[in-house]
Structure 1
Amino acid sequence: MLCITKIYGRKLLERKMDDTSNDWQSGKSLAETNLYMLDNGLGSDITFFVGNKGERVLAHKFMLTSRSQVFYAMFYGQLAETGQGVIIPDIEAEVMKTFLRFLYTEEVDITPDTVMALMYTAKKYAVQILVDKCRDYLETEINNDNVCTILEQAHLFDEQNLRNNCFTTIFSNSTDVLKSPLKDYQNLCYTCFKELLQSDKLRAREETIFMACLNWAEEQCRLKDIDTSDTNLRDLLGDMLFLIRFPNMDQRAFTELVSNRKLLTTDEKLAVYQQFNRSPRDGDVTLMGFRFSSKPRNSTEIFRASRFKDVFGGMIDFWDNDNDCDAISFSASRDINLFGVSIYRPFPDGIIRGCVKLYDETNWCMTKLYNLEILCIDGDETTVDKKFKGSVKIHQNRWYTVTQQMQGSKSFYGMNGQKQVQGKGVVITFRRSPMDKNKTNVESGQIPALLYS
């Protein structure tokens, strides 16, 4: 009987060896062999029970502790886990598997559905490089339809920079965000939505803002399973109701949208109509206690996307005929408003004259600046900003081209250019334009910066 047991045990061992001895190591990289062991549970010495269902996920302590100080403390610290299993109810299985694959291979497939949970996991186990990858992914994926969801997640996970960039995106595209068919703003918590409403930078008509508030409150009613009565809507809006600047609405719109509802009291409606017809005077008791601001919104902050790391002067890039044209093409990861461009001054002194134009992807000229005259004297900056007469809408992931056609002195020029510039809530990508006739490209040349919001 003992002999039979030994033979059976030896055959079982040989079978196991056959299962794993197909030479999966040869010709493979370290990452590939690591991943094979992870996927097949070979040599694993720790089991995670993850998610609500407690799904088993096998891993290796050595690999985990080499990548995370949290795992090191978990397995080898003073309060180390002594068992062979760890329960992790707050992370679902697919997210945990994606996270482990990154630890084993340094490769990761981030998707819109998993990015925030993956960032949460990376933060929980102090894997900063994956936190950064998730943050970079979100920065490039922000658009008018998802920015509020990303804002809410950034608030939840205390990602302040990402949160600020989301607000910048909303303020730059307020009307599009608030009129999005997806109504993404309904995903905002009270705190974030209130911060949005109280800002002077919210660039939308007050009627649009009012309708967004109604939609947000109606969604809250649905979540609480209560009627969408005006009384309930007012209760859920709370103090946010007084951040709607009703006196700034068109009077006809106020009459049609607000006056026939019970969101405002009779006295509040009367005070708004009085505000329509006159400016309140100091000591005017009829408007005493009036809580709706009439301060205009639309305070626009302009940002700069600078292409070059270094600036030199006078060696190249001067214009001696009418055909010398500098050009660079660009696209943005979200909608932005382009206000103008920066132009290099003459070097070491002198004067440059010419024009700047902006073209869309069909080579239609969207706007232009003629009769530019740029001087340089001691103490001047190397660049000068030139703004269009009005902002130009730049649509997400479309290509545009800025041209600069000049005559005159030699100029400063940029070097060590960046293909992608991480801006305020947007990634701007540059590429060489066939319209260029004067050595400007991604790496060097003219048109050093775009001015946008």
Structure 2
Amino acid sequence: MHLFAKGRKMTEVKNSKNWRSGLSVAECNRYMLKNEIHCDVSFKVGKEGKLVRAHKYVLACRSPVFDAMLYGDLAEANDIKIPDIEPSVFHVLLRFLYCGDVDVTEDTVIGALYAAEKYDVEELKKASQSYLDENIRTETVCVILESAKLFKFESLNEKCMDFIEKNCVSVFQSPSALGLMKETLSEVVSSENLDIEEIEIYHFLIKWAENKCERKNMVKSDENIRKEMGDVIYQVRFQSMNLETFAKEVCKRQILNPEEMINLQQIIVGNINKRNTKFNLGKQRYKTFTVLRSSGPNAGWGYSGPEDSLEFTVNRNVKLHGFLMWGGKSVPYTYTVVGKLLENSTDVGDIPSQIIEKTDSMDYQFEVKLRKPVVLFPNKRYRVWVKLQGPSSWNGKTYKQSVNEQGVQIKFYTHRGENNWTSDTDGQFPGLILSL
């Protein structure tokens, strides 16, 4: 209730004179904002121009932009128009300026980030970025990536790209991926580290372009699909497909023109100078596979301080993406995880600190990924160590000291230092995640 609204009886004001009693400064500010007590500036916010009242002094104290707007040489009068920020977001900004409340949600965080940038409210900008950073998942990562690019948050951009690279199959199936801007889409599909087949990237680009056609009320013809794709199509590494897949999945459409189809067919069979093409002819992107050294869960495994550690060698160049770890013996379970990969005593990769939470009884294993995949070389000895903090986990049975998978032979060795009793025939690391 606006206690000082025109026409109110004086008794209402009199009865409210002790409203400050027992309230903190933040609570007083919140009360004055909510009830518009002594407000001396008003804004017309959003496309509909909703009237929002506030206090000049509070805004100017917390934002140099509001200070200049309200007290500078070009100070604006009342009813200041702010059409580019919706009322729900403007109230998030005001609550932060008045009380320090960080009250962002999925629906308001992007707008709050924009408002914080516009009015130079650094702490709200940091809080909004942290919220985004902590809420990256399949359904949100594409929207967060666009925001990271817009506001030039490089670390957040890198984290989004890392998530997409590791989860691109599910990300490309999410509706939010269809809303990527063309520039961002090109950055995503040009990544060297997408864990997906090239034909699936091609199919995703078609879905993305069809969505653009639909929004523009255009016929979803092959000609219009190609027009919407533009040069992004050149990022698909068609040369890594076999000729049968290319003929059945690509040539049946007219998305590529006849000259491009012939050009790519010749590249696939090796009958053309590869410099005479616009297509990205980089090396084949990886598809991961898992090498298992244990056949399944058996007994329990405890954690009392030391890290689990294991050594291994490979017989050929192969890329290591991460490891399988045994999960908790009962669900739900939570582990704090951190780790490293070493070649002799030199760090060559790391598993970033993370929290693993599982609730399904089938989650007797979980993946931990290296920050970036690491190329392993023959005749070198590698050691991985991972420190788990949490409940007792499963242990495996029937361990193999040597495993062959897709032409890759991995031999396992017991590390003679701290190893939490993990060895070549026992303990953690039931599997390695690799690609050729």
| Fold agreement, TM-score > 0.5 | yes
Structure-1 residue corresponding to 2:285: 298
Equivalent positions of 1:253-332 (< 5 A) are: 253-277=245-269, 279-280=270-271, 284=272, 289-298=276-285, 325-326=304-305
Opposite residue 55 of structure 2, the aligned amino acid is: H
Structure-2 residue corresponding to 1:3: none
* CA deviation map 1:282-312 (0-9, x unaligned): xx46x67333334224379xxxxxxxxxxxx
Within the alignment, does 1:27 sit opposite 2:22 as a pair? yes
Q: CA deviation at 1:63?
A: 1.0
The 3 A distance-change label for structure 1 pair 328 and 13 is farther
The 3 A distance-change label for structure 1 pair 360 and 34 is same
Within the alignment, does 1:77 sit opposite 2:72 as a pair? yes
Q: CA deviation at 1:384?
A: 8.7
Within the alignment, does 1:434 sit opposite 2:401 as a pair? no
Within the alignment, does 1:232 sit opposite 2:224 as a pair? yes
Opposite residue 326 of structure 1, the aligned amino acid is: G
Structure-1 residue corresponding to 2:125: 131
Q: CA deviation at 1:338?
A: 6.5
Structure-1 residue corresponding to 2:34: 39
Opposite residue 54 of structure 1, the aligned amino acid is: G
Measured in 2, the distance between the counterparts of 1:20 and 1:126 equals 36
Q: CA deviation at 1:253?
A: 2.8
Within the alignment, does 1:171 sit opposite 2:165 as a pair? yes
Preserved CA contact (<8 Å) 1:401 1:433: no
Measured in 2, the distance between the counterparts of 1:446 and 1:361 equals 19
Preserved CA contact (<8 Å) 1:152 1:187: no
Opposite residue 293 of structure 1, the aligned amino acid is: N
How many residues end up aligned between the 2 structures?
338
The 3 A distance-change label for structure 1 pair 60 and 431 is farther
**Partner SS, residue 56 of structure 1:** strand
Q: CA deviation at 1:198?
A: 2.0
**Partner SS, residue 326 of structure 1:** coil
Q: CA deviation at 1:395?
A: 10
Amino-acid identity (%): 31
The 3 A distance-change label for structure 1 pair 396 and 234 is farther
Preserved CA contact (<8 Å) 2:329 2:364: no
* CA deviation map 1:138-190 (0-9, x unaligned): 01101122211111222233333322221121122222222x2x332211111
Structure-2 residue corresponding to 1:208: 200
Structure-2 residue corresponding to 1:410: none
Preserved CA contact (<8 Å) 1:326 1:446: no
Preserved CA contact (<8 Å) 1:25 1:33: yes
Within the alignment, does 1:14 sit opposite 2:1 as a pair? no
Equivalent positions of 1:30-429 (< 5 A) are: 30-81=25-76, 83-178=77-172, 180=173, 182-277=174-269, 279-280=270-271, 284=272, 289-298=276-285, 325-326=304-305, 339=322, 358-362=325-329, 397-398=357-358
Q: CA deviation at 1:199?
A: 2.3
Measured in 2, the distance between the counterparts of 1:135 and 1:115 equals 8
Q: CA deviation at 1:207?
A: 0.9
Measured in 1, the distance between the counterparts of 2:321 and 2:264 equals 36
Q: CA deviation at 1:16?
A: 4.3
Measured in 2, the distance between the counterparts of 1:452 and 1:20 equals 67
Measured in 2, the distance between the counterparts of 1:196 and 1:115 equals 23
The 3 A distance-change label for structure 1 pair 76 and 242 is same
Structure 2 alignment gaps of length 5 or more: 1-6, 288-300, 309-319, 332-340, 366-370, 373-386, 394-417, 421-428
**Partner SS, residue 170 of structure 1:** helix
Opposite residue 325 of structure 2, the aligned amino acid is: L
* CA deviation map 1:256-305 (0-9, x unaligned): 2211111122232233333333x34xxx46x67333334224379xxxxx
Preserved CA contact (<8 Å) 1:359 1:401: yes
Measured in 2, the distance between the counterparts of 1:174 and 1:17 equals 61
Opposite residue 213 of structure 1, the aligned amino acid is: L
TM-score (norm 1): 0.65
Structure-2 residue corresponding to 1:332: none
**Partner SS, residue 27 of structure 1:** coil
The 3 A distance-change label for structure 1 pair 289 and 385 is closer
Measured in 2, the distance between the counterparts of 1:97 and 1:238 equals 41
TM-score (norm 2): 0.67
Measured in 2, the distance between the counterparts of 1:86 and 1:13 equals 30
* CA deviation map 1:206-233 (0-9, x unaligned): 0110011001111111121110100111
Say what the alpha-carbon RMSD is for the aligned residues.
4.0
Measured in 2, the distance between the counterparts of 1:219 and 1:288 equals 33
Q: CA deviation at 1:61?
A: 1.1
Measured in 2, the distance between the counterparts of 1:96 and 1:323 equals 51
**Partner SS, residue 292 of structure 1:** coil
Q: CA deviation at 1:196?
A: 1.6
Measured in 1, the distance between the counterparts of 2:67 and 2:419 equals 51
Measured in 2, the distance between the counterparts of 1:242 and 1:384 equals 33
Preserved CA contact (<8 Å) 1:327 1:401: no
Opposite residue 57 of structure 1, the aligned amino acid is: V
The 3 A distance-change label for structure 1 pair 212 and 12 is closer
Preserved CA contact (<8 Å) 2:132 2:144: yes
Q: CA deviation at 1:205?
A: 0.5
Measured in 1, the distance between the counterparts of 2:282 and 2:217 equals 36
